[in-house]
């Protein structure tokens, strides 16, 4: 069940707090395109499917509206950098300069999520439950042998959701480290879907096991989502419905 707050304005992002803003494709409005910078507009125009374009634009719009409020600047002035650390092209994860808030974006199906902290590295991942997923095929290269065995112990009707729970936990962690799928998810071991989310093993980076906070989120029925924070300092997390934020341009910072 969704547990999203509905607010009339963007609350202050405080130290040791985390905010997650949720939207649905139906929240997209024409004026959101004007919030995007030139690079983001070029990318939006390249999508062949309207749903993919909508998800991307909503992620950009939420990022800029929330950060514009937090940084007291126009959304277009928010210095979001999307340069890939490997190929140097503008398709990497969104980042701000050192000393500014951290953010992470994810979308799947009808859902779009953007997470923010003041300084803690953060990763979020949401996945729509698809009944056509071949769990065993997908698990290869993603889950460890032990995790695959644990997954297959679940009732058949729970295996797809179980796999996506493993997947979102690992993907959230790898997004928080900034490495994404440049590192195989099988290098990580996380707790089973029936246990509280926890990072158990990270090959070559054992120090992250002690400091990583991993949590389940509530994206609504037919979805699974996880969030990872690379320290234990975050003491409060709030989830917001971005619908009102995306409805009216009067909420833009002035």
Rg of the chain on CA atoms, in Å: 18
Question: Is residue 134 a part of any domain in this protein?
Answer: yes
Question: Is residue 198 a part of any domain in this protein?
Answer: yes
Is residue 113 a contact partner of residue 20, using CB atoms and an 8 Å limit?
Answer: yes
Q: For the chain, how many structural domains are there in total? A: 2
My answer on whether 240 and 218 are in the same domain is: no
Rounded distance between C-alpha atoms, residue 53 and residue 106, angstroms: 13
Is residue 95 a contact partner of residue 135, using CB atoms and an 8 Å limit?
Answer: no
My answer on whether 139 and 177 are in the same domain is: yes
Rounded distance between C-alpha atoms, residue 188 and residue 131, angstroms: 25
Which domain, by its residues, includes 180?
Answer: 127-232
My answer on whether 31 and 133 are in the same domain is: no
Question: Is residue 17 a part of any domain in this protein?
Answer: yes
Neighbours of 202 (CB within 10 A): 20
My answer on whether 41 and 59 are in the same domain is: yes
My answer on whether 134 and 166 are in the same domain is: yes
Q: Please tell me the predicted confidence (pLDDT) of residue 140.
A: 94
Assign residue 85 the CATH number of its domain.
3.90.470.20
My answer on whether 153 and 95 are in the same domain is: no
Neighbours of 46 (CB within 10 A): 10
My answer on whether 87 and 178 are in the same domain is: no
Q: Please tell me the predicted confidence (pLDDT) of residue 187.
A: 97
Is residue 36 a contact partner of residue 90, using CB atoms and an 8 Å limit?
Answer: no
| Ranges of residues in the chain whose predicted pLDDT is under 50 | 1, 253-254
My answer on whether 163 and 223 are in the same domain is: yes
Residue/partner pairs of 40-47 with CB below 8 Å, 24 or more apart: 40/82, 43/90, 43/91
- Tens digit of each residue's pLDDT (9 = 90 or more) over 217-241: 989 999 999 999 999 999 999 999 9
Question: Is residue 112 a part of any domain in this protein?
Answer: yes
Question: Is residue 195 a part of any domain in this protein?
Answer: yes
My answer on whether 181 and 142 are in the same domain is: yes
My answer on whether 57 and 92 are in the same domain is: yes
**Phi (first) and psi of residue 68, to 5 degrees:** -60, -40
Q: Please tell me the predicted confidence (pLDDT) of residue 90.
A: 67
Residue with tokens 């509530």: 218
Q: Please tell me the predicted confidence (pLDDT) of residue 250.
A: 56
Per DSSP, 5 falls in state B
Question: Is residue 24 a part of any domain in this protein?
Answer: yes
Beta bridge partners of 238: 19
My answer on whether 34 and 148 are in the same domain is: no
Question: Is residue 93 a part of any domain in this protein?
Answer: yes
Question: Is residue 254 a part of any domain in this protein?
Answer: no
My answer on whether 221 and 169 are in the same domain is: yes
For residue 74, what are its two tokens?
């126009």
């Amino acid at each position: 069940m969704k547990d999203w707050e509905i607010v009339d304005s963007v609350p202050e992002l405080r130290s040791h707090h985390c905010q997650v803003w949720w939207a649905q494709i139906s929240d997209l409005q024409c004026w959101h395109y004007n919030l995007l910078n030139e690079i983001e507009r070029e990318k939006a125009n390249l999508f062949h499917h309207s749903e993919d374009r909508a998800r991307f634009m909503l992620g950009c719009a939420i990022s800029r509206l929330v950060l514009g409020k937090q940084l007291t600047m126009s959304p277009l002035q928010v210095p979001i950098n999307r340069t890939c650390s490997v190929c140097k092209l503008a398709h990497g994860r969104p980042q701000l300069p050192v000393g500014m808030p951290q953010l992470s974006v994810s979308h799947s199906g009808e859902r779009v999520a953007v997470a923010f902290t003041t300084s803690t590295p953060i990763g979020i991942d949401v996945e729509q439950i698809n009944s056509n997923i071949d769990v065993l095929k997908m698990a290869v290269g993603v889950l460890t042998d032990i995790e695959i065995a644990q997954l297959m112990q679940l009732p058949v009707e729970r295996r797809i959701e179980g796999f996506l729970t493993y997947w979102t936990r690992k993907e959230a962690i790898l997004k928080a480290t900034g490495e994404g799928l440049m590192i195989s998810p099988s290098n990580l071991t996380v707790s089973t879907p029936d246990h509280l989310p926890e990072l158990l093993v990270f090959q070559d980076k054992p120090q992250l096991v002690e400091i990583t906070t991993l949590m389940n989120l509530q994206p609504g029925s037919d979805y699974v989502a996880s969030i990872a924070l690379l320290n234990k300092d975050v003491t409060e997390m709030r989830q917001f419905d971005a619908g009102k934020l995306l409805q009216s341009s009067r909420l833009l910072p002035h």
